[in-house]
């Protein structure tokens, strides 16, 4: 039995989950489920990142201690995972004693690569990072991502000799030891390495920031939040002595957004090389989701709340759109119109209706008896190729060609006509063929739309039909007109969208 370790980037819990986090989770979950189907033993990590300035400030705003604040945020994030149907196996908080212990252990291990130095520069508390003078100038002194002025900071910190690892990281990338998907992200990092990696400050003076993991042996410093957050991938396995660590290290896939590529493709590998342990096999880097072609931002007010989509249309509809219609490794676009069109046309009409028409004919012509069903014999080679290349959108396209083929097949054979002619045996054969196809579709669909997959599987699992109350993917016309009457009915409790 093979092991498969998939990790998600642990989110910083200074806010509620957004679409980008959902992308992380859905991609990782799809991989995890797919590998379970392949028979692999899956370790699926999720968690939250709780230290640092931003959290401390946010907590203060609410009159809470930082830990009390993150305790409060924990259920928000865990409920989110639950709603998304994320099948994680292990959860880590960066305030867990285990995590703190591992982080301190690693700090000690890396001691030879640290030196004390002073750093003066512009800092963005939003980014939790220093920025170059040029960048400050280019942005007129205000961080464009956080709309906050940069602050001039001078600190004495522990520096990590990141600059010493460029060649080794480069080698690992070129040899494919550490693979970055898609390829152009690898080039970006190689470029970055080419231009020279600079040493990075891995600590913060305690007087400026007390909300962090203490640096072992130096009561005046706490760890830089990124340093210890990255360690979550190890601490969740109880590095270095835990059974999970021995069994599952290294990650087979780490799913991240493009905005944190540098941390995962430069700093993180350097840390692992310094620790002398294997690098992750693949960094799967997804793009951003745009709203009507523009970046989502609070100030524009065009932020799509994942919960609103899920509450209105169901988890599977949500997963479906983002896994099929947002390219896995590129930026994609969300509009309510596109989403609802895909939902009605593809999920309701093509798939949902197909399930229903087959079930209904079995009920009508055969009193619900399915009878003998041939084995699914669709050649799924290209599906698995796509899955292996992380091209989930293509893999879903493949499933949909199967859905369409079945609809075409029914149209060509016209079992309703055969039934009229009394050719009962042929009717049974045709419907059994459809059931076979649907079973196979349900199986392939499981990593993507587990709930719907299980419903379909259940309906057609036995010798006789198992009735399903209700409809798979009922039509919804809230953002597109209903062809019947040209009306669209906004959900009563849904806020207005532009």
Partner RNA sequence: GGCAGCGUAGCUCAGCUGGUUAGAGCGAAGGACUCAUAAGCCUUAGGUCACAGGUUCGAAACCUGUCGCUGCCA
For residue 278, give every residue at least 6 positions away whose Cβ sits within 8 Å of its Cβ, in sequence order, or none.
249, 250, 272
With CA atoms as reference, report the closest residue to 320 among 334, 303, 331.
334
Asked if residue 265 binds RNA (CB under 7 A), the reply is no
Q: Which helix (H) or strand (E) holds 179?
A: strand 179-181
Q: Which of 105, 262, 281, 497 binds RNA (CB under 7 A)?
A: 262
- Would residue 295 show up in a list of annotated catalytic residues for this protein? yes
Q: Which of 89, 356, 464, 466 binds RNA (CB under 7 A)?
A: 356
For RNA, the closer CB: 81 or 351: 351
Give the nearest distance from C-beta 212 to RNA in angstroms. Answer: 24
- CA distances to 149, 288, 313, 320, 478 from 309, rounded to whole Å, are 34, 17, 6, 12, 12
Interface map 17-56 toward RNA (x if CB under 7 A): ----------------------------------------
Distance CA(410)–CA(434), nearest Å, equals 8
Asked if residue 384 binds RNA (CB under 7 A), the reply is no
- Collapsing DSSP states into helix, strand and coil, what is residue 491? coil
Q: Which tokens hold the place of 159?
A: 């520096």
Q: Which of 374, 483, 490, 491 binds RNA (CB under 7 A)?
A: 483
- Would residue 286 show up in a list of annotated catalytic residues for this protein? no
For RNA, the closer CB: 78 or 356: 356
Of 46-54, 144-152, 298-306, 469-477: span binding RNA (CB under 7 A): 469-477
Of 9-17, 226-234, 358-366, 379-387: span binding RNA (CB under 7 A): 358-366
Strands 179-181 and 203-205, by their bridges, are unpaired
- Would residue 127 show up in a list of annotated catalytic residues for this protein? yes
Interface map 324-343 toward RNA (x if CB under 7 A): ---x-----x-------x--
Q: Where are the beta strands (DSSP E) in 12-94?
A: 41-48, 90-93
Residue 452 in contact with residue 472, Cβ under 8 Å? yes
For residue 178, give every residue at least 6 positions away whose Cβ sits within 8 Å of its Cβ, in sequence order, or none.
169, 172, 265, 269, 279, 280, 281, 282, 283
Sign, CA dihedral 108-99-47-147, equals negative
For residue 68, give every residue at least 6 positions away whose Cβ sits within 8 Å of its Cβ, in sequence order, or none.
59
Of 47-55, 76-84, 298-306, 404-412: span binding RNA (CB under 7 A): 404-412
Asked if residue 245 binds RNA (CB under 7 A), the reply is no
For RNA, the closer CB: 176 or 483: 483
484 burial class (0-12, 13-18, 19+ CB within 10 angstroms)? exposed
Asked if residue 407 binds RNA (CB under 7 A), the reply is yes
Could you say which of 220, 247, 295, 458 is catalytic? 295
- Would residue 186 show up in a list of annotated catalytic residues for this protein? no
CA 304 and chain centroid, separation: 16
Asked if residue 414 binds RNA (CB under 7 A), the reply is yes
Give the nearest distance from C-beta 300 to RNA in angstroms. Answer: 15
For residue 119, give every residue at least 6 positions away whose Cβ sits within 8 Å of its Cβ, in sequence order, or none.
130, 153, 154, 155, 156, 157, 159, 201
Asked if residue 98 binds RNA (CB under 7 A), the reply is no
Give the nearest distance from C-beta 135 to RNA in angstroms. Answer: 7
- Would residue 18 show up in a list of annotated catalytic residues for this protein? yes
Residue 415 in contact with residue 431, Cβ under 8 Å? yes
Asked if residue 474 binds RNA (CB under 7 A), the reply is yes
Of 8-16, 203-211, 316-324, 473-481: span binding RNA (CB under 7 A): 473-481
How large is the C-alpha radius of gyration of the chain?
A: 26
Distance linking the first and last C-alpha atoms of the chain? 51
Interface map 127-146 toward RNA (x if CB under 7 A): -----x-xx--x--------
- Would residue 146 show up in a list of annotated catalytic residues for this protein? yes
Residues in 164-203 at the binding interface with RNA, rule: CB under 7 A: 184, 187-188, 191-192, 195
For RNA, the closer CB: 64 or 190: 190
Q: What is the DSSP letter of 385?
A: H
Give the nearest distance from C-beta 99 to RNA in angstroms. Answer: 27
Q: Which tokens hold the place of 263?
A: 């941390």
Asked if residue 369 binds RNA (CB under 7 A), the reply is no
For RNA, the closer CB: 91 or 468: 468
Q: Which of 145, 305, 372, 417 binds RNA (CB under 7 A)?
A: 417
Give the nearest distance from C-beta 352 to RNA in angstroms. Answer: 2
320 burial class (0-12, 13-18, 19+ CB within 10 angstroms)? buried
Residues that bind RNA (CB under 7 A): 132, 134-135, 138, 184, 187-188, 191-192, 195, 258-259, 262, 327, 333, 341, 345, 348-353, 355-357, 360-361, 364, 404, 407-408, 410-412, 414-417, 471-475, 483-484
Query: Which residues form the catalytic set?
Result: 18, 21, 124, 127, 143, 146, 295, 298
């Amino acid at each position: 039995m093979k092991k498969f370790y998939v990790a998600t980037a642990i989110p910083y819990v200074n806010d509620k989950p957004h679409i980008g986090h959902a992308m992380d989770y859905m991609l990782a979950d799809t991989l995890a489920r797919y590998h379970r189907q392949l028979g692999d033993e899956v370790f699926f990590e999720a968690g939250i990142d709780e230290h640092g300035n931003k959290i401390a400030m946010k907590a203060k705003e609410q009159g809470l201690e930082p830990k009390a604040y993150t305790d409060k945020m924990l259920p928000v994030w865990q409920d989110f995972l639950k709603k998304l149907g994320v099948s994680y196996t292990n959860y880590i908080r960066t305030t867990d004693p285990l995590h703190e212990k591992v982080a301190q252990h690693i700090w000690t291990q890396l001691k030879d690569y640290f030196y004390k130095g002073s750093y003066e520069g512009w800092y963005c508390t939003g980014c939790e990072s220093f920025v170059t003078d040029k960048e400050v100038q280019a942005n007129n002194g205000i961080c464009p991502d956080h709309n906050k002025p940069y602050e001039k900071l001078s600190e004495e910190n522990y520096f990590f000799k990141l600059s010493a690892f460029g060649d080794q990281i480069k080698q690992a990338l070129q040899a494919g030891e550490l693979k970055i998907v898609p390829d152009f992200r690898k080039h970006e990092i190689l470029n970055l390495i080419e231009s020279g990696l600079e040493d990075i400050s891995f600590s913060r003076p305690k007087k400026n920031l007390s909300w962090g993991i203490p640096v072992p042996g130096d009561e005046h410093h706490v760890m830089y939040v990124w340093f210890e957050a990255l360690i979550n991938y190890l601490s969740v396995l109880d590095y270095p002595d835990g059974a999970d660590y021995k069994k599952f290290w290294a990650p087979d896939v780490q799913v991240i957004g493009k905005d944190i590529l540098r941390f995962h493709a430069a700093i993180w590998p350097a840390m692992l090389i310094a620790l002398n342990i294997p690098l992750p096999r693949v960094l799967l880097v997804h793009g951003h989701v745009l709203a009507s072609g523009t970046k989502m931002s609070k100030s524009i007010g065009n932020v799509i709340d994942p919960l609103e989509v899920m509450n209105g249309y169901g988890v599977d509809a949500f997963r479906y759109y983002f896994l099929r219609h947002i390219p896995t490794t590129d930026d994609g676009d969300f509009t309510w119109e596109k989403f609802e069109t895909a939902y009605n046309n593809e999920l309701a009409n093509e798939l949902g209706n197909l399930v229903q028409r087959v079930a209904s004919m079995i009920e009508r012509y055969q009193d619900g008896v399915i009878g003998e069903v041939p084995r699914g014999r669709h050649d799924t080679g290209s599906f698995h190729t796509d899955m292996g290349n992380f091209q989930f959108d293509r893999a879903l396209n493949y499933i949909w060609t199967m859905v369409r083929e079945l609809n075409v097949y029914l149209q060509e054979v016209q079992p309703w006509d055969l039934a009229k002619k009394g050719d009962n045996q042929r009717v049974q054969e045709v419907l059994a063929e459809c059931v076979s196809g649907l079973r196979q579709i349900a199986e392939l669909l499981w990593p993507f739309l587990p709930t719907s997959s299980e419903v379909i599987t259940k309906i057609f699992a036995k010798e006789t039909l198992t009735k399903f109350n209700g409809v798979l993917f009922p039509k919804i016309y809230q953002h597109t007109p209903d062809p019947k009457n040209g009306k669209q009915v906004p959900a009563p409790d849904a806020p207005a969208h532009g």
